[in-house]
Amino acid sequence: MKIDGRKIAEGIFEELKTRVKKLQEKNITPNLVIILVGDDPASIAYVRQKEIRGKLIGAKIDIQHFPSSISQSILLSTIQQFNNNNNIHGIIVQQPLSPHIDLKKITNFINPKKDIDGFRPQSKFESPIAAAVLEILKEIHASTPGVEPQFIDWLKNKKIVVIGKGETGGKPIIQSLKKMGVQTFVIDSKTPNPLSITKNADIITSAVGKPKVIKPEMIKNQSILISIGLSKGKDGKLHGDYEEDEIKDIASFYTPTPGGVGPVNVAMLLKNLIISAET
């Protein structure tokens, strides 16, 4: 069954609209600055969705688009300006960045009160991508008859595999599940015989960003598949880490691309923005 990420996100957006109206009654408009460096197609697509959805809930979205050649010092001084502006509630730097820029330094330079991506160590904000995956799994749990009544118990009884452990995808999901006490098996490029792991998995989350990371022979019948990774195909379209036509009759639930994790990720990011504006 295909998971409709847009439908899940719409429910979250409706709640956020109400919260924004209450803030506006206090003369507060949630304000997000997005710093985009370069012209990565996936990054541009994500930023565009953040802009559209942010404006629809009543937030102000300011996109600062810089060439990939921007110096680290200019980037840092730009962030500092936004750190010092009390009317700005959230700052995100869209990844990936150019190789000459120190990602860790950039991330840690953002005011922790405005780090709505949750990248800083000990951030008060939950990672939007991890929150999005959990939101989708809650939807699956709620729509599956005869399962454990408690979501966390249901998760703990599943063999969960995360493919990829990058900073913006796999890593925050792994960390979030670990905090919940949920055992997670991690596959990366150095994992020997990954097929032996994926073939027995109940839930697979793939955050690689390459075509056909997950092939039909790698998964068991009735497994749950969640694709976070994005790559641009020869057809010029964005694709997930598996081809839907190849896995749709094997998986019990799966997220499509587009319309899967992406909209929910944006919703959870904007939820963090509203929390920042409220506090």
Per-residue pLDDT, 116: 97
As a whole number of angstroms, the distance between CA 202 and CA 219 comes to 9
**Cα dihedral 56, 131, 172, 233 sign:** negative
Distances (CA, A) of 166 to 23, 35, 70, 119, 206: 35, 20, 23, 12, 11
Q: Could you count the other beta carbons within 10 Å of the beta carbon of residue 7?
A: 12
Q: Is a pLDDT exceeding 80 seen at residue 200?
A: yes
Most confident of 92-96, 102-106, 272-276: 272-276
Query: Are 74 and 157 contained in the same domain?
Result: no
Q: For 61-79, what is each residue's pLDDT tens digit?
A: 999 999 999 999 999 999 9
Structure tokens at 224: 């749950």
Laid out side by side, the sheet with 90-93 consists of: 60-66, 31-37, 90-93
Query: Percentage of the chain with pLDDT > 70?
Result: 100
Q: Is a pLDDT exceeding 90 seen at residue 123?
A: no
Q: State the total domains in the chain.
A: 2
| Average confidence (pLDDT) over 102-109 | 94
Let me know if residue 153 belongs to a domain.
Answer: yes
Query: Are 138 and 243 contained in the same domain?
Result: yes
Q: For 222-266, what is each residue's pLDDT tens digit?
A: 999 999 998 888 888 889 999 999 999 999 999 999 999 999 999
What CATH number corresponds to the domain at position 52?
A: 3.40.50.10860
Query: Are 23 and 97 contained in the same domain?
Result: yes
Query: Are 28 and 66 contained in the same domain?
Result: yes
Supply the pTM of this predicted model.
0.93
Query: Are 141 and 106 contained in the same domain?
Result: no
Q: Is a pLDDT exceeding 90 seen at residue 120?
A: no
Let me know if residue 234 belongs to a domain.
Answer: yes
Let me know if residue 66 belongs to a domain.
Answer: yes
Query: Are 78 and 21 contained in the same domain?
Result: yes
Query: Are 70 and 99 contained in the same domain?
Result: yes
Query: Are 159 and 111 contained in the same domain?
Result: no
Let me know if residue 167 belongs to a domain.
Answer: yes
Let me know if residue 123 belongs to a domain.
Answer: no
Q: Collapsing DSSP states into helix, strand and coil, what is residue 267? A: helix
Query: Are 38 and 141 contained in the same domain?
Result: no
Domain that holds residue 152: 128-262
